[in-house]
């Protein structure tokens, strides 16, 4: 489980205001002004401690990245990893993905990453899963590009495939064992832990077909 609390997390988040976006509603439709360029913007929802998005930002300076994590005690650990070496193409938001439509204008995001999202295993909590219909509806508004989804949870993956299919998303790439491919894969902290145990990593890349 993620460590959800850290000492003085809120104060530490505020202190990193150069990296952190404290009120993302101020930038709806204006994120390119914040980055000061017209490069595409990639969004990771549930970024955890930040290994994945930080590495992406370092490798791809011509792409802008926004990481969202609802637990301040977790996101501050990503801030601590960067210390003073903050990539100019990366900003972080401490907040809940239910607010996406308040933060982003239609088509403002080019790609969305969902990595090792909370599976919410109980049926009565299905609406909280980040691949549930209400979330997919938000994604297709803010992004006209692709979603990449990774998990080690087979039940969540199967639920997500059904949800994507039922809501008119097209599968571009799908595997039940991502690390069997001979590719340079940027991983998350959880991915490293799970794959080291021999657990398969499930992956799908998808795009909305259109109405």
Mean pLDDT of 159-170: 98
What is the DSSP annotation of 82-114? Answer: HTT---TTEEEEES-GGGHHHH--TT-EEEEEE
Domain positions in the chain are 9-208
Asked if residue 85 has pLDDT above 80, the reply is no
pLDDT of 33-77, one tens digit each? 999 999 999 999 999 999 999 999 999 999 999 999 999 989 988
- DSSP state, residue 8: T
Note if 118 is an active site residue. Answer: yes
Q: Which CATH superfamily is domain 9-208 in?
A: Vaccinia Virus protein VP39 (3.40.50.150)
Does pTM surpass 0.75? yes
pLDDT of residue 80: 87
Flag the least confident range among 7-11, 33-37, 119-123, 150-154: 7-11
Mean pLDDT of 155-177: 97
- Out of 36, 80, 118, 211, the active site residue is 118
């Amino acid at each position: 489980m993620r460590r959800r609390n850290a000492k003085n997390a809120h104060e530490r988040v505020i202190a990193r205001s150069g990296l952190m976006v404290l009120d993302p509603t101020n930038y709806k439709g204006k994120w390119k002004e914040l980055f000061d360029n017209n490069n595409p913007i990639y969004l990771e929802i549930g970024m955890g401690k930040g290994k994945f998005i930080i590495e992406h930002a370092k490798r791809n300076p011509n792409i802008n990245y926004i990481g969202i994590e609802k637990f301040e005690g977790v996101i501050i650990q990503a801030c601590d990893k960067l210390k003073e070496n903050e990539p100019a193409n990366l900003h972080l938001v401490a907040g809940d993905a239910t607010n996406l439509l308040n933060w982003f204008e239609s088509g403002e995001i080019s790609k969305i990453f969902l990595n090792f999202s909370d599976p919410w295993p109980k049926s009565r909590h299905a609406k909280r899963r980040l691949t549930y219909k209400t979330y997919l509806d938000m994604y297709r508004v803010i992004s006209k590009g692709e979603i990449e989804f990774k998990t080690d949870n087979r039940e969540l993956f199967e639920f997500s495939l059904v949800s994507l299919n039922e809501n008119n998303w097209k599968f571009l790439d799908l595997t039940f064992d991502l690390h069997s491919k001979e590719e340079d894969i940027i991983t998350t902290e959880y991915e490293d832990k799970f794959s080291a145990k021999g657990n398969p990593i499930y992956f799908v890349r998808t795009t909305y077909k259109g109405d």
